[in-house]
Structure 1
Amino acid sequence: MSHGASAAEEALPQLEKIGPHRKRLGLISVVACLGGLLFGYDTGVANGAEGPMAQDLGLNLLQLGLVIASLGFAAAIGALLAGSLADAIGRRRAILVLAVLFFGGVMLVIFSPGGGGVFDPVGFAMLLSGRIVLGLAVGGASSVVPIYLAELAPYEIRGSITGRNELAIVSGQLAAFVVNALIAVTVGETGGVWRLMFAVCAIPALCLFFGMLRMPESPRWLVEKGRTERALAVLETVRSKSRAKAEFEQIAIIAEEESGAKIGLGALLTNKWLLRIVAVGAGLAMIQQLTGINTIMYFGSRVLEQAGMTPQQAVLANISFGVVAVIGGIIALRNMDRIDRRKTFIIGLSLTTTCHVLVLIATAVFPEGHPARMWAVLILVVAFVLSMQTFLNIAVWVWLAEIFPLHMRGLGFGISAFFGWGMNGLLAFVMPTLLEWSLGGTFGLLAVVGVLGILFIYRFVPETRGRTLEALEEDVTTGTINIITASQRVHSRR
């Protein structure tokens, strides 16, 4: 148990290690994580599809950057809207809405007219619209799925349960890289091959929709809406009866204390501690994006081509990014409930920043055309992705799902994700131009931001591991969490 654990955690009956309740929780997480799989595929498919798409549709660099970046910008809006939607209609129904958006977005993309290398304004508009719809779904999934899992999971294994969504994301990205490579090798990289690459994600979208029809609503959301009997019934499907009753009582106490109080945006604007924690959440989400991880997932093939690989070599080597991302995700899940979040963040940013500096050095030491240049860049970017997935990506989404009080969890997560996805979109828009300017210089800029990120986390980000959501809610709302964070900084210096 981490520093700052309260008597509330100690009072709960011991969690079952195995049994039907754990199996049921596992099934719920698998179905919900199809949203993460779609998130991953739709962000990763551009890495490999963007070249053939630009060639087929006659897009210049700015137009291509807009198509890729539109997903990130729309995801920012989607995260914000879906967070509030999940607070209003429930986590489960919000995920069903997102499944419909995933399917509709991919249909717009694959059926957009145009081709043959000639720019078609109508086809471009339809393609852009499809990417925007997909972005709304991706952003929504990034907000709602972690919240849904965190609210269903017991606090002892909340990190590993919630973190499964991030593992699903990187698995979706790996699937996109593999599918892209298979299609590129067997069909080629010309014509409408990019449409096939996008079309694959229609299948998990349908599976998510029909799967969520049979899944339960979040018990914490049900309590907040006064549906207490249903909430207890849901808890009893994923806990032993004694544990479900004890957790339900703690949830009900917090809900009763807050009955009649301001909720959502009203609560946020009238409580300086809630404003502070939302600002910290937004900062952490932006730091995650400023590592450049999604730049690699969008433009990894382009980075490797800049390093000296041929297009076919790059699309095949790109699979290595997806493989190590999944490996890192598995390691992260194993450690998520063993290592404090703050420590995980600082280790991760230290490693990723080191990789950025080494890429800068490698591109300076090995000039363009040098045979060692592409291998050095490949190895260092693989190390960067492994470090990112092992220590940062899963932990950030888990932390965001834990830190906000129930009455504004969707809103707080949505605001944080809005800033994160906004930064994602900005990076995606400028990255083709930055890479064209200087491969090493681009990674050098990311390294500078990484150093600033480490300082931000050390100073402002509180610990959440080993706490119930209700205990965290009380400390966040009263500002006690900031005193605990200050004591953790002192403890870490000793």
Structure 2
Amino acid sequence: MGLLTLVEDRPTPKAVYNWRVYTAACVASWAACMIGYDSAFIGTTLALPSFVEEFGFAEMDPADLNLTKANIVSVYQAGAFFGAFGAYASSHYIGRRKSLILWVLIFIVGAGMMLGANGDRGLGLIIGGRVLAGLGVGGCSNMVPIYISELSPPAVRGRLVGIYELGWQMGGLVGFWINYGLQETMAPSHKQWIIPFAVQLIPAGCLLLGAFWMRESPRWCLSKGKREQALKDLCWIRNLPEDHPYIMEELEAIDAQVEHDRLTVGPGFWKPFLALKHRKVQYRLFLGGMLFLWQNGSGINAINYYSPTVFKSLGVTEGFLTTGIFGVVKCVLTFVWLIWLIDRLGRTKLLMYGALGGSLCMWYIAAYIKIADPANNPNPSGNLSSGGISAVFFFYLWTAFYTPSWNGTPWVINSEMYSQQTRSLGQAFAAANNWFWNFIISRFTPQMFSAMGYGVYMFFASLMLLSIPFVFFLIPETKGIPLERMDELFTIKPAFKAHGVLVDRMKENEEVNLVIRDEKARADEHKEMA
């Protein structure tokens, strides 16, 4: 098997890889565009001269200004933390698709509130609106990876869930560039800074409209006893008839998993919480949460939310333009990750390679800032020194290591590592973990740069190094493994050998099944001849 070979759990008809499953993933990923845009535009919007002037930022004490900016940014993450848990309840009772509709409506209300803000009314509407918008994106960040994962054929599940990450980066790309364009083409005014807030409504509206076309997850339908709807939706998604062997095998596997979960976890809203006492569930929650600790510990959200501050520390004066280029690099590399890497190279290799390369880049940047101190010793010519140019190069090289590894892979792993009955709760914990660490980073980044200087980059570099042994010894490779066999995968030790062992078992089982099917077909032939 080649390094970049797709892994199929069984012979799969070409019809399964059809436009419907890809389109459903794309429509659901409008939520990611919404989240990515919100994560990217706020930092540069707060730095727009028109926003600074209208809300009196120039007259504020530096400590008060840092606190105000941190509050505007971080209330969004606080709302998202609670939204991630709220989505567990909504998905249990009304399903994945209707949950998306509910949470995007909450987001739209929050985005609308922000449009009512101005200098006279103060920042209250922006802060309140960001809380509601955070609730909405928190709910969507729980629902979308689960929904796509449950619709996806195993061989391309990473790629399809990766569309969610691509949507995040495309939204971020617009968020990073929009304020550069507005600053270059529009005079400072109320309209200049309100436009970025209004653009939030575009991806939200696209998701709301597209959700009415999407189908419910067949796995959720079967878990609720809606077998007829599950069969109908599964046939539509797979583009196969009801009596096709692939459909019958998949339904049988989902049925077996649902029955297993019913016996071991139990039905109902509260039973998955009781499953938390099981060591295997606790262990996976720990693994999923730690992946997001390492992800945020890379420094990505410090850069996303405070990019002007980050580039200023490198001596860059054109922060808006440099931030825009950062967005382009991330978006292009996400395409590479999505199309060639996630389902071919796999999850764990990507995480380890990315952490090692990214850490080395961060150490270089820290050393440059320590030696040159560009923020306090600018080049008299106003241009970057050769050392500054090399630091910016290593920053973009860090982006090249981080984006196809830690940016989206933790979401993929968390969307696939839980059983049917605990998947919504597990993803709720995962998304809440992401938003918790997101909140911590966004809340304290300004203070960290003030107190630690170049030490911030050393801090992030150290965390990236520590993630490597964690992934190698504790995270099994999940590419190509059916969702219904994740429990088995996580019982195989050591983790770095689990994938190979389970793939061999699946091949043996498939050979046995082929023999049984051939014998049954021959027996049926003899009956007909008799």
TM-score, with length taken from structure 2? 0.84
Q: What's 1:29 paired with?
A: 25
1:146-165 correspondence runs (5 A): 146-165=145-164
CA 1:189/1:390 → structure 2, altered by over 3 Å: closer, same or farther? farther
On the 8 A contact 2:81/2:433 being kept in 1, the answer is yes
Deviation at 1:58, TM superposition (A): 2.8
CA deviations 1:189-216 (Å, max 9, x no partner) are: 5645222111112122111111101110
Choose the corresponding residue for 1:325, options 302, 327, 330. Answer: 330
Aligned to 1:58: 56
Cα distance, 1:248 vs. partner? Answer: 1.3
Q: Secondary structure at the match of 2:127?
A: helix
Partner of 2:519: none
* Equivalence for 2:495: 485
Q: Kindly tell me: are residues 202 and 13 of structure 1, through their superposed partners in 2, closer, same or farther at Cα, counting changes over 3 Å?
A: same
Shifted more, 358-367 versus 220-229: the winner is 358-367
Q: Does 1:95 align with 2:100?
A: yes
Please say which of residues 104-113 and 274-283 is displaced more in the overlay: 104-113
How many residue pairs match? The answer is 472
Which residue of structure 1 lines up, in the alignment, with residue 401 of structure 2? 387
- Give the superposition deviation at 1:62: 0.5
Q: Is the 8 A contact 1:301 1:314 kept in 2?
A: yes
Deviation at 1:267, TM superposition (A): 4.1
What are the Cα deviations for residues 96-127 of structure 1, in whole angstroms up to 9, with x where unaligned?
Answer: 11211221111111212425xxxxxx632221
Is the 1:286–1:420 Cα contact (8 Å) retained in structure 2? yes
**Match of residue 314 from structure 1:** 319
Any unmatched runs of 5+ in structure 2? 58-64, 502-530
Deviation string 1:15-52 (CA, Å, 9 cap, x unpaired) is 31xx5961111211111110011010011111311213
CA 1:2–1:82 in structure 2 vs 1: closer, same or farther (change >3 Å)? farther
Whole-angstrom CA distance in 2 between matches of 1:440 and 1:488: 40
Match of 1:250 in 2: 253
Offset of 1:474 from its aligned partner?
4.5
- Give the distance between the partners of 1:335 and 1:384, measured in 2 at CA: 18
Counterpart amino acid of 1:378? V
1:147 Cα deviation after fit:
0.7
Report the equivalent of 1:118.
none
SS in 2 for 1:79: helix
Q: Is the 8 A contact 1:73 1:135 kept in 2?
A: yes
CA distance in 2, matches of 1:64, 1:367: 25
- Pairwise CA distance, 1:72: 1.7
Is the 1:101–1:134 contact (alpha carbons within 8 Å) kept by the matching residues of 2?
A: yes
* Greater Rg by CA: 2
The alignment status of 1:262 with 2:266, answered yes or no, reads yes
C-alpha separation in 2, matches of 1:454 and 1:83: 31
Q: Which residue of 2 aligns with 1:292?
A: 299
Q: Which moved more, 1:389-398 or 1:80-89?
A: 80-89
| Cα offset, 1:73, TM superposition | 2.0
1:44 matches 2:40 = yes
Q: Which residue of 279, 289, 301 corresponds with 2:286?
A: 279
> After superposition, where does 1:406-485 map in structure 2 within 5 Å?
406-476=420-490, 480-481=491-492, 483-485=493-495
Maintained 8 Å contact 2:472/2:496: no
**What is the TM-score of this pair, normalised by structure 1?**
0.90
2:109 aligned with 1:104:
yes
CA distance in 2, matches of 1:147, 1:439: 39
In structure 1, distance between residues paired with 2:283 and 2:364: 35
Q: Which residue in 2 is equivalent to 1:182?
A: 181
Shift of 1:383: 1.7
Give the match's secondary structure for 2:464.
Answer: helix
Given the superposition, is the C-alpha separation of residues 375 and 141 from structure 1 closer, same or farther in structure 2, using an over 3 Å criterion?
A: farther
Distance 1:342 1:21 in 2: 25
Which deviates the most, 138-147 or 301-310? 301-310
Structure 1: gaps of 5 or more residues: 116-121
CA contact (8 A) 1:68 1:429 kept: yes
Flag the 1:488–1:189 CA change in 2: closer, same or farther, 3 A.
Answer: farther
In the superposition, relative to structure 1, how do residues 353 and 87 fare at CA in structure 2: closer, same or farther (>3 Å)?
farther
**Distance across 2 between alignment mates of 1:441 and 1:410:** 38
CA contact (8 A) 2:79 2:135 kept: yes
Q: Deviations over 1:299-348 (max 9, x none)?
A: 112211232233xx210111111111111101111211111211111111
Cα distance, 1:234 vs. partner?
A: 1.0
Q: How many Å separate the matches in 2 of 1:189 and 1:44?
A: 20
Contact 2:70/2:446 (CA < 8 Å) preserved in 1? Answer: yes
**Alignment-mate amino acid for residue 361 of structure 1:** A
Deviations 1:417-459 (A, max 9, x none): 2122111111111111222334422111111211222222223
Give me the CA root mean square deviation. 2.4
**Equivalent residue letter for 2:22:** G
Q: Which amino acid aligns with 1:255?
A: V
Alignment of 1:121-132 (within 5 A): 123-132=122-131
Q: Classify 1:51/1:234 alpha carbon distance in 2 versus 1 (closer, same or farther; 3 Å).
A: same
Give a deviation string over 1:284-308, Cα, whole Å, max 9, x none: 1111111111211111122112322
Of residues 193-202 and 265-274 in structure 1, the stretch that sits farther from structure 2 once superposed is 265-274
Match of 2:171 in 1: 172
For residues 499 and 144 of structure 2, the distance between their equivalents in structure 1, rounded to whole angstroms, comes to 31
Task: Read off the aligned partner of 1:176 and give its amino acid letter.
Answer: G
The answer to whether the 8 A contact 1:167-1:330 is kept is yes
| SS in structure 2 at match of 1:308 | coil
CA distance in 2, matches of 1:86, 1:377: 46
Within 1, Cα distance between the matches of 2:499 and 2:462?
23
Match of 1:45, SS?
A: helix
Structure 2 CA distance, aligned partners of 1:411 and 1:55?
44
Q: Separation in 1 of the partners of 2:341 and 2:88? A: 28
Q: Cα gap change, 1:344/1:378 in structure 2, threshold over 3 Å: closer, same or farther?
A: same
Matched, 1:339 2:345: yes
Task: Indicate yes or no: 2:362 matched with 1:356.
Answer: yes
How far is 1:266 from its partner? 3.2
Secondary structure at 1:90's aligned position in 2? helix
Q: Which amino acid aligns with 1:441?
A: G
CA gap 1:475/1:21 in 2 versus in 1, 3 angstroms = closer
> What letter matches 1:381 in structure 2?
F
Name the CA shift for 1:141/1:21 in 2 (closer, same or farther; >3 Å): same
CA distance in 2, matches of 1:94, 1:237: 21
Question: Is the partner of 2:136 in helix, strand or coil?
Answer: helix
